[in-house]
Amino acid sequence: MIELVAHARGVLVAVRARPGARRDEVLGEHGGALRISVATKPEAGKANEAIRRVLAEALGVKPAQVELVTGQTSREKRFLILNADINEVRARVNMLISP
């Protein structure tokens, strides 16, 4: 199950990043985190920006509603989905990882 945490400003989502992949996509779950691959290399924050856009699209929110909170240089990241309801985010995440 993907780790989601209610936050005063929205919902925190755990993400396991895979930069430098063949394409941008949500791959499923890994160790309680949503696995996201992006073709962008991890240079000067470009991969983080690509992951942010993929996550926003996957969750059906605007990219401006997604903020990287921790893990700027790590594969393990936490993103804050601003003004989101945890139940709605959970439903969207479950749709993403369901076979």
pLDDT, tens only, 85-99: 999 999 999 999 986
What's the average model confidence in pLDDT over 61-87?
97
Q: Write down the pLDDT at residue 85.
A: 96
What's the average model confidence in pLDDT over 37-56?
96
Rounded distance between C-alpha atoms, residue 77 and residue 74, angstroms: 7
Q: Write down the pLDDT at residue 98.
A: 84
Q: Write down the pLDDT at residue 63.
A: 97
Provide the β-strand partners of residue 28: 35
pLDDT, tens only, 3-41: 999 999 999 999 999 999 999 999 999 999 999 999 999
Look up the CATH number of the domain holding residue 61: 3.30.1200.10
**Total structural domains in the chain?**
1
- Say if strands 10-18 and 4-7 run parallel, antiparallel, or are unpaired: antiparallel
Q: Range of 75's domain?
A: 4-97
Asked if 2 and 29 count as a contact pair (C-beta separation under 8 A), the reply is: yes
Residue 79 has pLDDT above 80, yes or no: yes
